[in-house]
Amino acid sequence: MGRQGARTGLRHLRKLVAEPGTSRRLDQQLLQEFASRRDESAFAELVRRHGPMVLDAARSILHNLHDAEDVFQATFLVLVRKAGSIRKQASLASWLYGVAYRLALKTRIGAVKRNAREQRPIQQSQTSAMDEMTWRELRSVLHDELHRLAEKHQAPLILCYFEGKTQDEAAQQLGWNKWTLKDRLEQARDLLRKRLTRRGVIPSAALFATLLARDAASAVPAALLDSMAHACSLVASGQPAAGAVSAQAAGLADHAIRGIAFTKASPN
């Protein structure tokens, strides 16, 4: 493909990523089309569907927009490079969440280490955990516990709450009947509420629902969508994607690819 053709193809892919999704294909169908034929429109649809959830999770854990954007880029770069090896393709949302969580946690630990000399010991008080926690801290605790759930409980929570799917849509995506989805979703909510309670968070029904809802500010910036379109185009043409994403994102993706975080993030 000549330079002009490559630029035309990239502009087309960027348009696909930026436009609202209309595909009725399931995640596993899109994933197979991208893995087998490098169908860039299939990848664009996956970024549209799951990008806001990935960015929201990263922001909740990191509380830093630039770091969260690096994790977003790294997560989808791992998808570009590992699309053909995902075992539970119906649970792609849970897989992406797992990768994003692990890479966000790695980034957070690195930031804490870098700033260790400036940090003061946190004094314990007699007030309740709910009084001490800010909203961002509550969301971070939520993600810590959500990540520890088994995939059969994690997946319906992610689809129904973080991605706003109906129970029927989530059941279809996961290949479950609606009664199985309903039962597992109820079990997941109960398990998550109990785990939060053990952490000192005793959420009311309204607060619990708000905690689970995706942040309205988690819409993916156009620049991030553009970077992923560019990365996908580069990989599809056999080139390295590092030039399309930040150096930090490329490093995080390499870390995941090597298997340190990637293996742990794979669905059970």
Is 195 within the bounds of a domain? yes
| Residue 32 in tokens | 């197979």
Contact 155, 96 (CB under 8 A): no
Is 138 within the bounds of a domain? yes
Q: What is the pLDDT of residue 168?
A: 96
What is the C-alpha to C-alpha distance for residues 127 and 253, in angstroms, rounded to an integer? Answer: 41
Q: What is the pLDDT of residues 145-186, one digit of tens each?
A: 999 999 999 999 999 999 999 999 999 999 999 999 999 999
Number of domains in the chain: 1
Is 110 within the bounds of a domain? yes
Q: What is the pLDDT of residues 113-135, one digit of tens each?
A: 666 545 544 443 333 444 445 88
State pTM to two decimals: 0.82
On the question of pLDDT at 249 being above 50, the answer is yes
Q: What is the pLDDT of residue 261?
A: 42
**Measured between alpha carbons, how far is residue 94 from residues 86, 100, 103, 255 in Å?**
11, 10, 14, 19
pLDDT bucket at 14, cuts 50 / 70 / 90: low
pLDDT bucket at 22, cuts 50 / 70 / 90: low
Task: Label residue 152 exposed, middle or buried (CB < 10 Å: 0-12, 13-18, 19+).
Answer: middle
Is 123 within the bounds of a domain? no
Q: What is the pLDDT of residues 60-91, one digit of tens each?
A: 899 888 999 999 999 999 999 899 889 889 99
- Within 13 Å of residue 261, how many CA atoms lie on the same side as its CB? 24
Which residues does 212 contact at the CB level (< 8 Å), separation at least 6? Answer: 142, 157, 161, 162
**Domain limits at 31?**
3-118+131-265
What is the C-alpha to C-alpha distance for residues 10 and 41, in angstroms, rounded to an integer? Answer: 11
| Residue 83 in tokens | 């699309």
- Mean pLDDT within 180-208: 91
Is 126 within the bounds of a domain? no
Is 102 within the bounds of a domain? yes
| Residue 120 in tokens | 């003061």
% the chain with pLDDT above 70:
78
- Mean pLDDT within 28-39: 92
